[in-house]
Amino acid sequence: MAKRKKTENGKVKTSTLIVAVVISFIVGIPSGIFINKYKTGINLSIKPESASEKNIPSDISGQIAEHEKSVSVNPDNVEAWIHLGDLYFDSDIPEKSVAAYEKALALNPANADVWTDMGVMYRRLNKFEKAIECFDKAVSINPKHEVSRFNKGIVLVHNLNSKQEAIRVWEELLEVNPLAKAPDGLSVDEMLKQLKQP
């Protein structure tokens, strides 16, 4: 699946919600438990928390503070807003991540990756319809955007109980890329076969 740019700390930034879905298909984990962006131990509450309250490493907290200052001085810096949103995303602060992505998209609404990441954050906030809207917007900008198509299927299956619609979305993903795979190598085609089983 498509990956985002590397963050300043060298970690690959992705917009996928895939890992737990693959796990749930393989071992039947309840859909209410979800691993986001290859992280474990995510706090499932939606209470806003600051970076310091979440025990974020000091280097990440420092980057957040630096980017918060940067956007306050130069609020028209799209890349700074995106990077701030990414830092909040990686720190599991979805409310602030959404706010930063909204600022970036107000300045440049044609970024499918940012729409997708914002959709992921809306899902974390249990705003599933908003997540779907974001994924749809990403696809309208870039019809070949695989991550947004995959994430839409995730929300449809696990949050909106719309299995048939998810099947349709993932079949469309396979039309874009017949070899689409999850990060662990499981093909979307195989996941669809499992999803279609009675």
- The 3 state secondary structure assigned to the chain is CCCCCECCCCCECCCCCHHHHHHHHHHCCCCCCCCCCCCCCCCCCCCCCCCCCCCCCHHHHHHHHHHHHHHHHCCCCHHHHHHHHHHHHHCCCHHHHHHHHHHHHHHCCCCHHHHHHHHHHHHHCCCHHHHHHHHHHHHHHCCCCHHHHHHHHHHHHHCCCCHHHHHHHHHHHHHHCCCCECCCCCEHHHHHHHHHCC
Per-residue pLDDT reduced to its tens digit, 143-192: 999 999 999 999 999 999 999 999 999 999 999 999 998 767 789 999 89
* Structural domains present in the chain: 18-45+58-196 (1.25.40.10)
For residue range 73-129, list pLDDT tens digits in order.
999 999 999 999 999 999 999 999 999 999 999 999 999 999 999 999 999 999 999
